Structure 1
Amino acid sequence: MADNSDNTTAVTAPRTDTRVINYFVQHSTGVIELNRPKALNSLNQEMVDLVQEALDKWIDDDAVHRVLIYSTTDRAFCAGGDVRAVREAVLGGNIEAGDRYFIEEFVMNDDLGNFPKPIISVMDGVVMGGGLGVSMHGSHRVVTEKAFAAMPEMAIGYTPDVGFTYFIQQVTTPAIGKFLAVTGWRMSPADMLWTGVATDFIESRDVEAFKQTVIERSLEEALEEFRSQPEGESELAQFAPQIEETFSHGRWELIDEALTRHPDREFVDRVRDLMGGAAPSSVVAAILLMEANREAATLREGLDNELALSLHMIRQPDFVEGVRAVLVDKDRDATFIPADYAGVDEAVFRDLLS
């Protein structure tokens, strides 16, 4: 791993290094560049290590007043965790590498959420899974019209993680959170602002100027100069009444029954379509996890609940099969076991969360 010992010295221009994470200080801003563009900044172990390294250096550095996180490509902020690498570790008999990845990623998430200085993430492109873990715990979550976000874990035989199941219930209702957790709904910028996943909106053409204003002047001036509003309203908000009527229950079986009875068949058909490729075990587990994290007192407690399920799920055939279908062969034709909800044993997940 490259030596970053000089990264806390002030520099006058961004680094042009080829590391997967570049971090440095400009003026009084600690800058973290996500720099794995070919993989859409899919978050691997090295990236987790380097983000953690930067946070550890800056937490007690009085010369660093804020942290700015952004991507070197406008295609993606971060398309998620590198679950392909975890799958390869599992298949190679090195499950400990998978465990380490999630354990240390969740430490990073907690440190981001409890960092004592402002953290500004600029999301200009795709934000999924682990990308939300890097961005949503900070104080300022800035999106552009190119941003969209989702938690797509149901399709890979896994469960929502990186603190999402705790965070989302702090900024919106439990029902909306459960809906997002199990449908993989792709949030638009307007959806992200409506839910609280994002705090501010700027135009993509202003990203560079916004970043430079944060660095050279102040966050407040950058927001005052460039803050705007996205075109159109939140589609998710329009479905809020139906979501509250169906997803407010604490078990998937009850949500499924509520959907079956609901008179808005267009909404129900939309949900069924979104969940067409979901692993039944993942859906059942995700609802129980969301319910458990309604009671979590801290982000760390929420992450611990997620970790209990994460370490279990990566050991199951559904995870290997789901990642294969979505990210390796890309045929979207996973064979999950069990194949239906009736075959899922809820008690397994309740025990893990108890």
Structure 2
Amino acid sequence: MSDIDIRITGRAGRITLTRPQALNAMTYDMCLAIEAALDDWAGNDAVALVVIDAEGERAFCSGGDIAELYETGTRGDYAYGRRFWADEYRLNNKIFGYDKPVVSFMQGFTMGGGVGIGCHGSHRVVGESSQIAMPECGIGLVPDVGGTLILARAPGRLGEYLGTTATRLGPDDAIFAGFADVFLPEASWPEVIAKLETTGDPAEIKGETPPPGSLRDQLAEIDRHFSGADLEAVLDSLQTADTGFAKDTLKKLSRVSPLSAACTIEIIHRLRDTGPTMATALDLEYRFTYRAMEDGDFLEGIRAAIIDKDRNPRWQHAGGQVPPAAISHMLQPLGADAVKL
């Protein structure tokens, strides 16, 4: 497949995304190919670890390739999207629970679906260009691909902030928030990967201190404003604060789907209250994505951002006051249609 290069080199199972012209966006076929490789290597003693990387300087993986999701959804065909998300989430869960080390090297943009393949392994490497984000609320989804698990485990109320505002994380902030483990200058990556291929030992990864980020200094203010029970409480808190952070955060929240932001906060609260697990995170995420085309803002979000590019989405509940019944509907159990991992 021209979009992805899967092979065994030395002791390493190697997966390289090869769509740099498309910022290595994940297609459905790429998702299935990665899962098949992981299944093949699980019982292969010659493969000691898995290394996932990507071609190009701009992105490890900018997200899922959503063109076909939009095309099928606007025809009223919701089955394709539901199948895509279900299969993708199964892969995310497989990476998270894989019995062998999974090492990812994430340069440039790692967003959405890229988080799903890059941020659930055992050794997650970032470099000076790394920018990690969960921007789904801006297109009418919720952070998914298991991203809500990371958000629920993040320090303080950082998860609610990152999940609703799509704030991009440089290497230090990504490590602080739990999306990455190790900083290595990108010039050293080829040498480190070669050692991994030779030895099959993740101890070859020796991290360095990244340039300092900003989240640690902002955490107290993030906690103050995002400690409320719901989106409305968060907005009320921010609107009463005359600070640069509050104004910037309100601007970010004004761009996202209120329904998505409200459901994101609810999912993170549920996960944190019950003790976050990957299975629960993916189950809650799939409840939303299963309904996102038919009842959510997903198709309108894609229209405004990708198709017409007018950046003027007509969101439901545009004032930010999302009825509890709307949140409950999007997150109610799916019964026999629940995601199967």
Alignment of 1:236-315 (within 5 A): 236-262=215-241, 265-294=243-272, 295-315=274-294
Query: Counterpart in 2 of 1:55?
Result: 38
Letter in 1 for 2:160: K
- Distance in 2, matches of 1:114 and 1:234, equals 30
Which deviates more, 45-54 or 214-223?
A: 214-223
* Structure 1 residue 193: Cα displacement: 1.6
| Cα offset, 1:213, TM superposition | 1.5
Q: What are the superposed Cα offsets for residues 272-295 of structure 1, whole Å, 9 maximum, x if unpaired?
A: 122221111111111111112222
Q: Which amino acid aligns with 1:269?
A: K
Q: Does 1:68 align with 2:17?
A: no
Which residue does the alignment assign to 1:339? 318
Please give the per-residue CA displacement for 1:142-163, whole angstroms capped at 9, x wherever unaligned: 0010110111112111111011
Report whether the alignment pairs 1:212 with 2:190. no
Instruction: Show the counterpart of 1:7.
Output: none
**Separation in 1, partners of 2:95, 2:233:** 35
Counterpart secondary structure, 1:270: helix
- Tell me if structure 2 keeps the 8 A contact 1:143–1:201: yes
Of 25, 35, 49 in structure 2, the residue corresponding to residue 42 of structure 1 is: 25
Q: Compute the displacement of 1:345 (Å).
A: 2.4
Alignment RMSD: 1.7
Counterpart CA distance in 1 for 2:8 and 2:65 is 27
Task: Give the whole-Å Cα distance in 1 for the aligned partners of 2:143 and 2:188.
Answer: 32
Offset at residue 297 of structure 1 (A): 4.9
Check 1:86–1:238 CA distance in 2 against 1; reply closer, same or farther (3 A cut): same
Q: How far 1:221 sits from its partner (Å)?
A: 5.1
Equivalent of residue 125 in structure 2, options 142, 150, 167: 142
Does the aligned pair in 1 maintain the 2:259–2:327 contact within 8 Å? no
CA separation in 2, counterparts of 1:50 and 1:174? 37
Distance 1:36 1:220 in 2: 26
Q: How far apart, in 2, do the equivalents of 1:323 and 1:307 lie?
A: 18
What is the TM-score when the length of structure 2 is the normalising length? 0.92
- Please state whether the residue corresponding to 2:282 is helix, strand or coil: helix
The alignment status of 1:229 with 2:209, answered yes or no, reads: yes
The answer for unaligned runs of 5 or more in structure 1 is: 1-17
Return closer, same or farther for 1:173/1:230 CA change in 2, 3 Å cut-off.
Answer: closer
Partners of 1:296 and 1:302 within 8 A in 2:
no
Give the one of 127, 137, 141 matched to 1:158: 141
SS in 1 for 2:5: strand
Other-structure match for 1:129: 112
The residue type paired with residue 254 of structure 2 is G
Distance 1:72 1:148 in 2: 16
Per-residue deviation at 1:235? 0.8
Between 179-188 and 318-327, report the one with greater CA deviation. 318-327
- Structure 2 residue runs without a partner (length 5+): 334-341
1:309 and 1:349 in contact (8 A); partners too: no
Residue type at the aligned position of 1:44: T
Q: CA deviation at 1:245?
A: 1.1
Matched, 1:196 2:175: no
TM-fit CA distance, 1:333: 1.7
What number of residue pairs does the alignment pair up? 331
1:350 matched to 2:328? The reply is yes
Partners of 2:278 and 2:296 in 1: CA distance? 29
Structural mapping, 1:24-39, within 5 Å: 24-39=7-22
Q: Provide, for residues 5-53 of structure 1, a one-character-per-residue CA deviation record: whole Å limited to 9, x for no partner.
A: xxxxxxxxxxxxx522221111111111111222111111101100111
C-alpha contact (below 8 Å) 1:23/1:32 kept by paired residues: yes
Please tell me the residue identity of whatever aligns with 2:244. Answer: E
Aligned mates of 1:237, 1:274 — CA distance in 2: 19
Tell me the CA shift for residue 128 of structure 1. 0.4
Q: Partner residue of 2:339?
A: none
Give the AA of the match of 2:61.
Answer: C
Q: Which amino acid aligns with 1:197?
A: F
User: Match of 1:327?
Assistant: 306
Whether the aligned pair in 2 keeps the contact of 1:69 and 1:122 (CA below 8 Å) is: yes
TM-score (norm 1): 0.89
Change (3 A) 1:129 1:223: same
CA contact (8 A) 2:151 2:163 kept: no
Relative to 1, partners in 2 of residues 1:340 and 1:48: Cα closer, same or farther, differing over 3 Å? same
- Once residues 229 and 124 of structure 2 are traced to their aligned partners in structure 1, the CA distance between those partners, rounded to angstroms, is 29
Residue identity opposite 1:137 in structure 2: H
- Aligned residues with identical type, % of pairs: 31
